[in-house]
Copies of this chain bind each other. A is one copy, B any other.
Amino acid sequence: MDSESALNISIEQRVTLKDVARAADVSAATVSRFINTPVAVRTDKRQRIEDAIKTLGYVPHGAAQALASRRSRMIGAIFPSIDNTLFGCALEVFQHHASAADYTVVVASSEYDPELETRQVRRLLRSGVDALLLVGVERSPEVYNLITARKIPYVTLWRSGGDILHPCVGFDNVAATEHLTDYLIGLGHKRFGVFSGLLKHNDRAQDRVSGVYKSLENHGISAENATILERQFGVDEGREMFRQITSNRNPPTAIICGSEPFAYGAIFEAAEMGIDVPGEISIAGFDDLWLSSQIKPSLTTIRTPQREMAERAARYLLARLSGEQVAAPRPLEIDLIIRNSTGTAPTDLRSYEEVVRIVKAF
């Protein structure tokens, strides 16, 4: 017996529940109860167990707990990219709430690739997550089949609307750009450039383009007056699109960006090209990142509730996990923030005056 315990020490075996039980002179079941529902254990034993845990340095074995209890206390989160302030913020907030509830967050990036997303879902499901957080609604039905077969709660982020059949925490992307376009039309704009993220497999980006078209239609403006450009997200891509669109014969007087960095790129490029914003062209963004209020001219944009989304998603999932039968989250409000990058459209009248002035100069 002595040599055996000496052996145990030499190979430094992991401290288990059983060791704690032995040290505290109770059964393993009682130690387990102490860990999970301390009130179910008599006070004197509680103290003995607590001491034993401390002196032995016992840490429960998560996999064993998960296997026996059928709950892993892990939540999976898959973002299109973590390397993006928007999703980084959301992950930070989500993680904060999850870990406050003693849940661990397993994270993966889909890199905007639906195939990779499917593989990541499979991986996280294999890891045994108790719940899943996803961004956007449109994806392979296989993914939803996998999730529902597992019967775990899940929620989708960043999009919300009447026709969505999945639990979602988000806002109405169509209404957002529709509202923004309405505002620009009210300023006299009739020709628009739309800088969009790659539309394929990105329902949020698609919605935002739809919103522009919807507004145009409501105002009896032909869809041909909107030029849609799509690129990967990035400032340089915004610059490039700006250069491209302003070289058209009949360039737009207002540019609507589906992502804020596009708008920054457009503003930087305009400055470099000597194009006055908003005098000659108006530029609007989407998300209201910190730079938008600091850049010159400050950016008119849609403020989206990023942290709020993450918080509500966490609350929803945690409530579901604790057995509450909560109602599906309601769509969140968004605001149009009007700043200095948008203004009245340069009118034909003004062009006329300019022509007169130029003619007179001869």
Residues of chain A at the chain B interface (Cβ within 8 Å): 12, 57, 59-64, 66-67, 72-74, 81-85, 87-89, 91-93, 95-96, 99, 102, 104-109, 111, 120, 122-128, 146, 149, 151, 235, 264, 268, 290-291, 294
CB of A328 to closest CB in B, whole Å: 24
Q: Which residues of B contact A85 (CB under 8 A)?
A: 83, 85, 88
CB of A355 to closest CB in B, whole Å: 33
CB of A20 to closest CB in B, whole Å: 14
Instruction: Let me know if B99 and A88 touch, CB within 8 A.
Output: no
Residue in B83, B91, B104, B235 whose beta carbon sits within 8 Å of that of A127 in the complex: B104
Most buried by B among A87, A88, A89, A149: A88
Instruction: Let me know if B294 and A127 touch, CB within 8 A.
Output: no
CB of A60 to closest CB in B, whole Å: 6
Instruction: Let me know if A126 and B59 touch, CB within 8 A.
Output: yes
Instruction: Let me know if B108 and A106 touch, CB within 8 A.
Output: no
**How many copies of the polypeptide does the oligomer hold?**
2
Instruction: Let me know if B63 and A128 touch, CB within 8 A.
Output: yes
CB of A3 to closest CB in B, whole Å: 23
Q: Which residues of B contact A146 (CB under 8 A)?
A: 59
Q: Which residues of B contact A74 (CB under 8 A)?
A: 106, 127
CB of A242 to closest CB in B, whole Å: 13
In the assembly, what is the distance between CA of A226 and CA of B8, in Å? Answer: 57
Q: Which residues of B contact A59 (CB under 8 A)?
A: 122, 125-126, 146
In the assembly, what is the distance between CA of A124 and CA of B125, in Å? Answer: 18
Instruction: Let me know if A109 and B82 touch, CB within 8 A.
Output: no
CB of A78 to closest CB in B, whole Å: 10
Beyond A63-B66, A64-B67, A82-B95, whether A124 also contacts B106 by CB under 8 A is no
A sample of 6 inter-chain contacts (CB < 8 A) reads: A59-B126, A62-B127, A82-B91, A91-B107, A99-B123, A106-B106
Q: Which residues of B contact A235 (CB under 8 A)?
A: 290, 294
In the assembly, what is the distance between CA of A85 and CA of B261, in Å? Answer: 14
Most buried by B among A83, A151, A268: A83
Q: Which residues of B contact A62 (CB under 8 A)?
A: 63, 66, 72, 126-128
Beyond A62-B128, A88-B84, whether A106 also contacts B109 by CB under 8 A is no
Instruction: Let me know if B128 and A109 touch, CB within 8 A.
Output: no
Q: Which residues of B contact A294 (CB under 8 A)?
A: 235, 264, 268
Residue in B89, B107, B122, B126 whose beta carbon sits within 8 Å of that of A105 in the complex: B107
In the assembly, what is the distance between CA of A123 and CA of B107, in Å? Answer: 15
Instruction: Let me know if B95 and A99 touch, CB within 8 A.
Output: no
Q: Which residues of B contact A104 (CB under 8 A)?
A: 106, 108, 123-124, 127
Residue in B61, B82, B105 whose beta carbon sits within 8 Å of that of A108 in the complex: B105
In the assembly, what is the distance between CA of A104 and CA of B124, in Å? Answer: 7
In the assembly, what is the distance between CA of A87 and CA of B88, in Å? Answer: 9
Residue in B63, B73, B81 whose beta carbon sits within 8 Å of that of A92 in the complex: B81
Instruction: Let me know if A60 and B126 touch, CB within 8 A.
Output: yes
CB of A100 to closest CB in B, whole Å: 10
Instruction: Let me know if A92 and B99 touch, CB within 8 A.
Output: no
Most buried by B among A99, A102, A125: A99
Q: Nearest CB to that of A73 among chain B residues? A: B127
Residue in B12, B95, B123 whose beta carbon sits within 8 Å of that of A109 in the complex: B95
